[in-house]
Amino acid sequence: MNYITYTNEELVSIIAVGDDAAYEQLFRNLAPITLHEAEMYRGKMGTYSTEDFLQEGNIVAWEIISRGNFKGGKFSTYFGGAIRKRLIRIWRAYNMKNLVCIGESKNCWGNITRILVESDYAKEYRQKKAEQQKRWYEKKKAAQPPKEKKPPMTKE
């Protein structure tokens, strides 16, 4: 069936009934939103291509529909917020796992040496987490009543 003239909301309701062929048209309709949200991350994550971002958008749309999270309104608005949050999570995870190249040099044999450091985001995140854990531990320790010392045992 040709779903070109259907709105996103109509496609979602058709998919909910069980017609999986409408997914393809919905994915085509949502591709510009996905690419718009991914614009700020392009080129900053070396391992992600345009197809990867589109695939993430397809996964988000599929999850929204399969979980039944969409209750009404404009699906594109709901999807835009969901894909934005997904890309932010991916960006954070990427920054936590990948080092940043701050310089490179070539020696006389043609070998490239790169200077890699942990990103500022990862450093700040780790420091913030350490401070939170320390505060939590101190708060927990202060909330506990002091332990009473038991008298020593005698052999009587």
How is residue 55 written in tokens?
């695939």
pLDDT above 80 for 1: no
76 close to 84: Cβ distance less than 8 angstroms: no
3-state helix, strand, coil in the chain (%, to 5): 60, 10, 30
Residue 119 burial (CB count, 10 A): 15
**Average pLDDT of 108-114?**
79
- 29-41: average pLDDT: 92
Q: Is the pLDDT of residue 102 over 70?
A: no
pTM tops 0.95: no
Q: What is the mean pLDDT of the chain?
A: 85
Answer whether residue 87 shows pLDDT above 90.
Answer: yes
Predicted pLDDT at 123: 80
